[in-house]
C-alpha cells in the first residue's frame, strides 16, 4: 500500500513538472520572447549542458558548496551554543537578547561589503556572511526547544535532587532536539542565500561570481542554468538535513510538523 502511494506521488510530481516545462515553452514560443529577455527551457537546458559538460561550472560549484557547508556549520554551532546559554541563564538572556535581535535586523547585504573589507574577497568573508544568516534561526529554535520541557518532568528531576547539568542532559536537551533540527533545516536553505550574497558583493570564484559574469555578457540562458544548479543544491541539502533529523530525532514528530 505504501509503495503504491509513493509511486502515485512520483507520477503526479513528474506529470506536474512536464506540464510546467511544456507551459513555459509554449508561452515563450507563442509570445516570441527573445532569449535575451526570458529564455525558453530548451535554451536553459542547452546552456546547462554546456556549463556542465565543459567543466566550467564545477570549480565554482565546489567553492560555493564549501562556503555553504562551512558557514552553516559555524553559524549552527554558535547558534546552538548561545541559544543554550541564554535559555539557561536568564541574566544573560536579558542582557544580550536585545543586541542579538538588533544585529539580526541589519540587512546582511549591507554587512557583506564590510565583511569583504575585514576578511578579504576570498572564501572567508563568504563564510562569515553565511554564518551570520544561519545563526539566528538556529539560536531561536534552540532557546524555544530548551524552554519547552514539560514542567512535570522538571519537577520530578528536582524532586530527585538532580543537578542542573543532569536536568539539561536528560530533560531539556532531548526535548529541544526536534526544535534544533527545525532550525538547522531552515539554516541550511538560508546558507545558500548567504553564500550568494557574499559572492555578489565581491568574489574571485563561486556560482554567484559566475552569475555576475554571465549577466554582464547578457548570457541570460547561462544565468538561468546556474540558478537551476543553485536550486538543485538547496533541494539536496534540505533533503539531507531532513534525513539526518529523522535519524537523530527518530522519536519525535518531523521538524516540518512543529511549525517552528
The pLDDT, as a whole number, for residue 255 is 42
Q: Whole-angstrom Cα distance, residue 9 to residue 20?
A: 16
Q: Roughly what angle, to the nearest 10 degrees, separates helices 207-216 and 57-88?
A: 130
Cell digits of residue 131:
554564518
Query: What integer best gives the mean pLDDT of the chain?
Result: 83
Give the gyration radius of the chain's Cα atoms.
22
Q: How does residue 5 score in pLDDT terms, banded at 50, 70 and 90?
A: low
Residue 154: Cβ-neighbour burial (10 angstroms; 0-12, 13-18, 19+) = middle
The pLDDT, as a whole number, for residue 158 is 72
The pLDDT, as a whole number, for residue 1 is 52
User: Under CATH, to which class is 36-255 assigned?
Assistant: mainly alpha
What does the domain layout of the chain look like in residue ranges? 1-32, 36-255
Closest CA to 237 of 194, 178, 177: 194
The pLDDT, as a whole number, for residue 68 is 94
pLDDT digit string, tens, across residues 202-260: 778 888 889 988 888 888 888 999 999 999 999 999 999 888 888 877 666 544 444 44
Q: Whole-angstrom Cα distance, residue 138 to residue 189?
A: 12
The pLDDT, as a whole number, for residue 76 is 93
**Does residue 259 come out as left (phi exceeding 0), alpha (psi in the -120 to 50 range) or beta?**
left
Helix (H, G, I), strand (E, B) or coil at 203: coil
Residues 70 and 254 sit within 8 Å (Cβ to Cβ): no
Pick the residue with more confidence: 27 or 167?
Answer: 27
The pLDDT, as a whole number, for residue 4 is 61
Cell match 509511486: residue? 7
Q: How large is the average pLDDT for residues 163-190?
A: 82
The pLDDT, as a whole number, for residue 65 is 93
Amino acid at each position: 500500500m505504501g509503495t503504491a502511494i509513493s509511486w502515485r506521488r512520483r507520477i503526479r510530481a513528474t506529470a506536474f513538472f512536464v506540464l510546467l516545462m511544456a507551459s513555459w515553452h509554449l508561452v515563450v514560443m507563442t509570445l516570441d520572447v527573445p532569449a535575451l529577455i526570458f529564455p525558453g527551457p530548451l535554451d536553459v537546458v542547452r546552456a546547462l549542458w554546456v556549463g556542465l559538460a565543459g567543466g566550467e561550472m564545477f570549480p565554482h560549484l565546489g567553492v560555493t558548496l564549501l562556503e555553504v557547508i562551512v558557514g552553516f556549520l559555524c553559524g549552527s554551532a554558535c547558534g546552538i551554543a548561545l541559544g543554550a546559554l541564554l535559555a539557561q541563564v536568564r541574566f544573560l538572556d536579558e542582557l544580550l537578547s536585545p543586541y542579538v535581535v538588533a544585529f539580526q535586523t541589519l540587512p546582511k547585504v549591507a554587512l557583506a561589503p564590510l565583511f569583504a573589507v575585514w576578511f578579504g574577497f576570498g572564501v572567508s568573508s563568504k563564510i562569515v556572511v553565511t554564518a551570520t544568516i544561519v545563526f539566528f534561526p538556529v539560536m531561536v529554535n534552540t532557546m524555544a526547544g530548551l524552554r519547552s520541557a514539560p514542567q512535570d518532568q522538571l519537577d520530578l528531576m528536582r524532586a530527585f535532587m538532580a543537578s542542573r547539568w543532569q536536568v539539561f542532559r536528560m530533560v531539556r536537551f532531548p526535548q529541544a532536539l526536534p526544535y534544533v533540527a527545525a532550525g538547522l533545516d531552515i539554516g541550511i536553505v538560508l546558507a545558500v542565500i548567504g553564500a550568494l550574497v557574499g559572492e555578489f558583493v565581491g568574489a574571485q570564484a563561486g556560482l554567484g561570481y559566475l552569475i555576475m559574469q554571465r549577466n554582464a555578457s547578457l548570457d541570460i540562458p547561462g544565468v538561468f542554468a546556474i540558478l537551476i544548479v543553485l536550486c538543485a543544491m538547496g533541494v539536496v541539502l534540505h533533503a539531507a538535513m531532513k534525513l539526518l533529523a529523522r535519524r537523530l530525532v527518530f522519536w519525535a514528530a518531523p521538524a516540518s510538523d512543529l511549525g517552528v
